[in-house]
A and B are shown apart, each in its own frame.
Chain A
Amino acid sequence: MDDATTARPRSPLAELFLAAQSAPPDDSATVYVQSVPFVGQVSLRGRPDDAAFLAAAQDALGLALPLTAGGMAEGEAHRALWLGPDHWLIVTGEGQGPALAGALKDRLRGLFAAVIDVSGARMRLRLGGPASRQVLASGCTLDLEPPAFPAGHALQTPVGNATVILHCLDAGQGEAEPMYDLYLPRSQALSFWRWLEHAGKPYGLSVRA
Chain B
Amino acid sequence: MTGQDAGTTNRQVWRTESAGHGIDRSQPISFGFNQFRLEGYQGDTVASALLANGVRLVGRSFKYHRPRGIFGIGSEEPNALLQIGSGARREPNTRATVQELHQDLVAGSQNHWPSLKFDLGAMVGLAGALFPAGFYYKTFIANPKRWLWYEKHIRRMAGLGEPPADTDPDDYAHANAHCDLLIAGGGPAGLAAALAAGAAGARVILADENPALGGQLLLAPQRVGGIAGHAWVEQAREQLAALPNVRLMTRTTVAGVYDHGLFTMVERCADHQSEPDPHQPRQRFWRVRARKAVFATGAIERPIAFANNDRPGVMLLSAVRGYLERFGVLAGRTAVLFANNDSVYAASRELVAAGLRIEAIVDTRPGLSEAAAAAKADGLYVLSGHGVTAARGLREVHGADVAPIDADGRTRGAAKTLPCDLIAVSGGWNPAVHLHAQSRGRMAFREDLAAFVPDANGAPYASAGAANGAYDLAACLAEGFAVGAAAANALGLDAPPPAIPAAVGDPVGAAPALWSVQAPKGARCFVDFQNDVTTKDIGLAHRENYVSVEHLKRYTTLGMGTDQGKTSNVAGLALMAAKRGEAIPAVGTTTFRPPYTPFTFNAMVGGQTGEIGHPIRRTAAHDWHVANGGVLTDAAGWSRPMYYATEGLTPQQRIDEEVLAVRNAVGVVDVSTLGKLDIQGPDAAKFLDRVYTNRFSNLKVGRGRYGVMLREDGRVYDDGVTMRLADDHFHMTTTTNHSSSVFQHLEYLLQVVWPDLRVFVTPVTEQWFAAAISGPNARALLADLAPEVDVSNAALPMMGMAEGRVAGVPARIFRLSFSGEIAYEINVDADYGLALWNGILTAGGPHGLKAYGTEAMGTLRIEKGHFTHAEADGRITMDDLGLTGMVSAAKEFIGRRSLGLPDLVAPGRKQLVGFIAAEGERIPVGAQIAALDDLDAVQDALGHTTSQAYSATLGRHIALGLMKNGRAMHGRKVFALSPVLGQRAAVEVVPPCFFDPEGGRQRG
User: How far apart are the CA atoms of A46 and B739 in the complex, in Å?
Assistant: 23
Q: A residues within 8 A CB of B831?
A: 9-11, 38, 119-120, 186
Size of chain B's interface in residues, with CB distance under 8 A? 63
* Interface residues as binary, B87-120 with A (CB distance below 8 Å gives 1, 0 otherwise): 0000000000000000000000000000000000
Is A9 within 8 A of B832, CB to CB?
Answer: yes
At the interface, yes or no: A73 with Cβ under 8 Å from chain B? no
Least distance between B885 CB and chain A CB atoms (Å): 33
Verify A1–B178 contact, CB threshold 8 A: no
Give the residues in chain A near B767, CB-CB below 8 Å.
116-121
Chain B contacts of A118 at CB under 8 A? 764, 766-767
Q: Which residues of B lie under 8 Å from residue A192 when comparing CB positions?
A: 615
Task: Mark the stretch among A54-62, A74-82, A138-146 that contacts chain B.
Answer: A138-146
Name the B residues within 8 Å of A119 (CB-CB).
767, 829, 831
**By the criterion CB–CB under 8 Å, are B612 and A204 in contact?**
no
Q: Which of B672, B766, B843 contacts A1 (CB 8 A)?
A: B843
When each residue 170-209 of chain A gets 1 if its CB lies under 8 Å from chain B and 0 otherwise, what string results? 0000000000000001111111101100110110100000
Residue of A87, A120, A137, A201 with most partner-chain B CB within 10 A = A120
Question: Chain B interface mostly helix, strand, loop or mixed?
Answer: mixed
Contact: A162 with B615, CB < 8 Å? Answer: yes
Contact of B766 among A3, A121, A160 (CB under 8 A): A121
Check B281 against A8 for contact (C-beta < 8 Å).
Answer: no
Complex Cα gap A112–B680 (Å): 9
Cross-interface CB contact of B808 among A3, A139, A202, cutoff 8 Å: A3
Question: Which residues on the B side are within 8 Å of A11 (C-beta)?
Answer: 831
**Is A86 a contact of B760 with CB atoms below 8 Å?**
yes
A114 contacts across to B, CB distance below 8 A: 678, 680-681, 760, 762
Asked if residues B807 and A141 are in contact (CB atoms below 8 Å), the reply is no
Is the CB of A51 closer than 8 A to any CB of chain B?
no
Question: Considering only CB atoms, which chain B residue lies closest to A141 in the complex?
Answer: B176
Among candidates B173, B613, B830, residue contacting A186 with C-beta atoms closer than 8 Å: B830
Interface string of B744-763 (1 = CB under 8 A from A): 00000000000000101010
Is A107 an interface position by the 8 A CB rule? no
A7 in contact with B174 (CB, 8 Å): no
When distances are taken between beta carbons in the complex, the residues of chain B under 8 Å from A5 are 808
A45 in the interface, Cβ–Cβ < 8 Å?
yes
Could you tell me if A10 and B834 are in contact, using CB atoms closer than 8 angstroms? yes
User: Is B762's CB under 8 angstroms from A43's CB?
Assistant: yes
Tell which of B176, B279, B613, B785 touches A140, judged by Cβ atoms closer than 8 Å: B176
How many residues of chain A have a CB within 8 Å of chain B? 57
Contact between chains at A120 and B612 (CB < 8 Å)? no
A101–B175 Cα gap in the complex (Å)?
Answer: 39
| Chain B: CB-nearest residue to A137 | B176
Q: Min CB distance, B938 to chain A, in Å?
A: 49
Cβ of B682 within 8 Å of any chain A Cβ, yes or no, is yes
Residue of B nearest to A203 (CB): B279
How distant is B831 from chain A, measured CB to nearest CB, in Å?
4
Contact status A145-B178, CB under 8 Å: yes
CB of A135, distance to nearest CB on chain B (Å): 10
Which residue of chain B lies nearest to A143 when distances are taken between CB atoms in the complex?
B178
Complex contacts, A138 vs chain B, CB 8 Å: 173-176
Main secondary structure of the interface of A (DSSP, over half): mixed
Contact assessment for B762 and A116 in the assembled complex, using a CB-CB cutoff below 8 Å: yes
Q: Which residue of A lies closest to B842 (CB)?
A: A1
CB pair B764–A121 under 8 Å, yes or no, is yes
Instruction: Mark the stretch among B139-147, B563-571, B617-625 that contacts chain A.
Output: B617-625
Is A22 on the interface with B (CB-CB < 8 A)?
no
With most chain A CB atoms within 10 A of its CB, the pick from B608, B638, B787, B829 is B829
Closest residue to A139 on the B side, CB-wise?
Answer: B174
Does B785 lie within 8 Å of A161, measured CB to CB?
no
A187 and B764 contacting across the interface, CB-CB below 8 Å: no
B835 sits at the interface (CB 8 A): yes
In the complex, A122 has a CB within 8 A of chain B: yes
- Choice from A112, A117, A140, A202 contacting B758 with Cβ under 8 Å: A112
Q: In the complex, are the beta carbons of A7 and B618 less than 8 A apart?
A: no
CB-defined contacts of B174 to chain A, threshold 8 Å? 138-139, 199
Which residues of B lie under 8 Å from residue A66 when comparing CB positions? none
* B29 at the A interface (CB under 8 A): no
Does A1 contact B807, Cβ atoms closer than 8 Å? yes
Contacts of B762 in A (CB 8 A): 43, 45, 87, 114, 116
Contacts A120-B766, A137-B177, A202-B281; A187 near B617 (Cβ below 8 A): yes
Question: B616 in the interface, Cβ–Cβ < 8 Å?
Answer: yes
A49 close to chain B: CB less than 8 A: no
Chain A residues with CB under 8 A of B764: 43, 116, 118, 121
Q: In the docked arrangement, what's the CA distance between A143 and B718, Å?
A: 39
B805 in contact (CB, < 8 A): yes
> Given A112-B758, A139-B174, does the pair A4, B611 have CB atoms closer than 8 Å?
no
Contact A2 B176, beta carbon cutoff 8 Å: no
Q: Mask for A120-139, Cβ within 8 A of B = 1, else 0? A: 11100000000000100111
Please, how many angstroms separate the alpha-carbon atoms of A70 and B506 in the complex? 54
Provide the bound-state CA to CA distance between A119 and B768, in Å: 10
Tell me the residues in window 736-792 of chain B with beta carbons closer than 8 Å to chain A beta carbons: 758, 760, 762, 764, 766-769, 784-788
- Minimum CB–CB distance from B677 to chain A (whole Å) comes to 11
Q: How far is the CA of A184 from the CA of B291 in the complex (A)?
A: 31
Task: Using A112-B758, A116-B764, A201-B279 as known contacts, say yes or no to A187 and B618 having CB atoms under 8 A apart.
Answer: yes
B984 lies within 8 A of chain A by Cβ: no
Q: Mark A25-46, 1 if CB is under 8 A from B, else 0.
A: 0000000000000100001010
CB distance from A181 to the nearest CB of B (A): 17
CA–CA, A194 to B176, complex, Å? 19
Q: Does B289 contact A (CB under 8 A)?
A: yes
Minimal beta-carbon separation of B609 from chain A (angstroms): 9
By CB atoms of chain B within 10 A, which of A4, A12, A189 has the most? A12
**Does B766 lie within 8 Å of A8, measured CB to CB?**
no
A residues near B785, Cβ cutoff 8 Å: 1-2
Residue on B nearest A97 in the bound complex, by CB: B829
Q: How close is A105's CB to chain B, nearest CB, in angstroms?
A: 10
B607 within 8 A of A: yes
For residue A5, which residue of chain B has the nearest CB?
Answer: B808
CA distance A118 to B766 in the complex (A): 8
A187 touching B619, Cβ below 8 Å:
yes
Contact B787 A2 (CB under 8 A): yes
Residue contact B769 to A120, C-beta cutoff 8 Å: yes
Residue among B610, B832, B843 making CB contact with A7, cutoff 8 Å: B832
Within the complex, the shortest CB–CB distance from A147 to chain B, in Å, comes to 11
Residues of A within 8 A of B711 (CB): none
Q: CB-CB < 8 A to A117: which residues of B?
A: 767, 829
Instruction: Kindly state whether residue A150 has any CB partner on chain B within 8 Å.
Output: no
Residue of B171, B203, B766 touching A185 (CB-CB under 8 A): B766
Q: How far is the CA of A116 from the CA of B615 in the complex (A)?
A: 27
Enumerate chain B residues within 8 angstroms of A148, measured Cβ to Cβ.
178
B821 to chain A, nearest CB (A): 21
Contact check, B808 vs A6: say whether CB atoms are below 8 A apart.
yes
In the assembled complex, the Cα of A138 lies from the Cα of B619 at a distance in Å of 27
Interface string of B800-829 (1 = CB under 8 A from A): 000001011110000000000000000001
Q: Decide if B86 is an interface residue (CB 8 Å cutoff).
A: no
Q: Does B542 contact A (CB under 8 A)?
A: no
Output the least CB separation between B249 and chain A (Å). 14
Besides the contacts A1-B843, A6-B835, A112-B682, what 18 more A-B pairs have beta carbons closer than 8 Å?
A1-B784, A6-B808, A45-B762, A98-B810, A118-B766, A118-B767, A120-B829, A120-B833, A121-B766, A138-B174, A139-B174, A143-B289, A161-B614, A186-B831, A189-B618, A191-B617, A194-B611, A202-B281
A to B CB contacts below 8 Å, 11 in the list: A97-B829, A112-B681, A114-B678, A119-B829, A120-B769, A140-B176, A161-B612, A161-B614, A190-B616, A198-B607, A201-B279
**Interface residues in chain A, defined as those with a beta carbon under 8 Å from any beta carbon in chain B:** 1-12, 15, 38, 43, 45, 86-87, 97-98, 112-114, 116-122, 134, 137-141, 143, 145, 148, 160-162, 185-192, 194-195, 198-199, 201-202, 204
Counting from the closest, the 7 A-B pairs by CB-CB distance are: A191-B615, A9-B831, A7-B808, A120-B830, A187-B617, A121-B766, A143-B178
